[in-house]
Structure 1
């Protein structure tokens, strides 16, 4: 599948392509078909003892976007609780320290079977320690088949500068990053990134890591810049970023390219917020409610 829809080629790299329903209509997603295994197997890894909710939101969003089978891996002390809270998933417990933070020790061997068969991997939701997150990412990438796409969110993003070059280099051209502006700043080695500098910063990160980068209303790759044209302030709510990451994961597992998955995922997420404005107002709706609205928006865009 082409990286950009018909009519989007040409022009300068710095001239953004505005994301609208018409643009997405010209860029159809892979058609879902077959069993839960052939439709897309997704794996979410994260979830410290204090913050397993990010994995729940991301996993549920992946399923809502059409992934057929979901596996999650979280701190061992909360794995059983996550399995009960999200009965659609299979849950694996990971080694944790005395504070409940995932250490990453043995994660690669523990998840080797899941990594071998997954169609897309998300690392980061609910992690709360840099050292353990870096070790976790290193172990997972060492076991992951070379062609499997990877989404990094939250701590999964910010530890990229800490991992060895074999790990970061092994992710080039299959990597999606979903940082907020603060996480983007840390990737750049800066204290903060001003709104007007987000695109340039994301482009720098895209070049450095061979990644598609989504930050705020922007999706940036080395080839093109996209701007989301819908959504409002209510999207800035706790867990909203986990929904974006999970939505992107679900589309990747269905066979979308990294650029397509992130552009579609961010638009559908924002449009779900617009739907919720009608009943809740501009603020006050929850990230879990965003996840529940994803299939309705996707269906309206002929994505299902």
Structure 2
């Protein structure tokens, strides 16, 4: 296996030799993804992550977001079960241990926490609720404010053996590192993976806690658009729900995210496409590796 000095480039050939599981049977064989996030003012983040999970092959989708947005989300994503979570006067989602969220997290095959959340204290409560309720081998994807919450408790995942994938941007990586990241994102991803005992996907740089590393090199400036990270988090969750291992899901997701953006360039230019337009490209990108 490669060590940290042997970061492998993610290519179609590498992925073909690392084929994704092909589920058989009904939707249950492709797993249930639960996405938790979406404050009153950012419900679209949950929508993007959830639809990306379906586009990546998840069988069942569940969304948990601010109660004031639940009805609209259920109409926008009719394929999903949608539950409303209590919210503060500022629209921040609050944990509800007596509600349905714990039950859903306990039954889900994959949980994604973070897209669209606000409020660091409330997010910490949600993080603890999800980790307490989910099975010990249930994969968890942490994104956005969930990463900020994790940075306040850096030992939270240590020794648990739980399969976790972190999807930080540069700012969030800085919070997790406790310093500004340097230019060597392979090294920064590796440090984060070791520190938090989780797989890390940092702008196409994927690192595992055991020191293995990969790099996706076809991503372009257009991916730096609002909502793009939510799509990546959901894409990862969908691949995990199909049975992919965390590092495999992270590498495939990094590639599919980048190449889906490349497919949009002829229509919209390098920086003109929207995050939601990535969603329809995902299945074709995965199918044509």
TM-score, with normalisation over the residues of structure 2? 0.95
Task: Report how far residue 163 of structure 1 moved.
Answer: 4.0
Equivalent of residue 26 in structure 1, options 12, 17, 21? 17
Aligned equivalent of 1:246: 234
Aligned-partner SS, 1:101: coil
Aligned equivalent of 1:212: 199
Aligned equivalent of 1:47: 38
Equivalent of residue 265 in structure 2, options 263, 272, 277? 277
Task: Report how far residue 258 of structure 1 moved.
Answer: 0.4
Please tell me whether residue 74 in structure 1 is matched to residue 61 in structure 2. Answer: no
Aligned equivalent of 1:5: none
The number of residue pairs the alignment matches comes to 288
Structure 2 unaligned segments of length 5 or more: list them.
none
1:117-137, Cα deviation, whole Å (9 max, x unpaired): 211110000001100000000
Task: Report how far residue 95 of structure 1 moved.
Answer: 1.2
Aligned-partner SS, 1:295: helix
Q: CA RMSD of the aligned region, Å?
A: 1.5
Aligned equivalent of 2:188: 201
Equivalent of residue 278 in structure 2, options 274, 285, 290? 290
TM-score, with normalisation over the residues of structure 1? 0.91
Contact 1:45/1:55 (<8 A) preserved: yes
Contact 1:150/1:171 (<8 A) preserved: no
Aligned-partner SS, 1:237: coil
Contact 1:138/1:163 (<8 A) preserved: no
In 2, Cα distance between equivalents of 1:128 and 1:257: 29
In 2, Cα distance between equivalents of 1:49 and 1:271: 32
Structure 1 unaligned segments of length 5 or more: list them.
1-8
In 1, Cα distance between equivalents of 2:154 and 2:3: 34
Equivalent of residue 268 in structure 1, options 256, 259, 264? 256
1:169-204, Cα deviation, whole Å (9 max, x unpaired): 4754401000001100001112x21323x3322222
Contact 2:58/2:241 (<8 A) preserved: yes
Mapping 1:3-22, distance limit 5 Å: 9=1, 11-22=2-13
Aligned-partner SS, 1:262: helix
Contact 2:141/2:166 (<8 A) preserved: yes
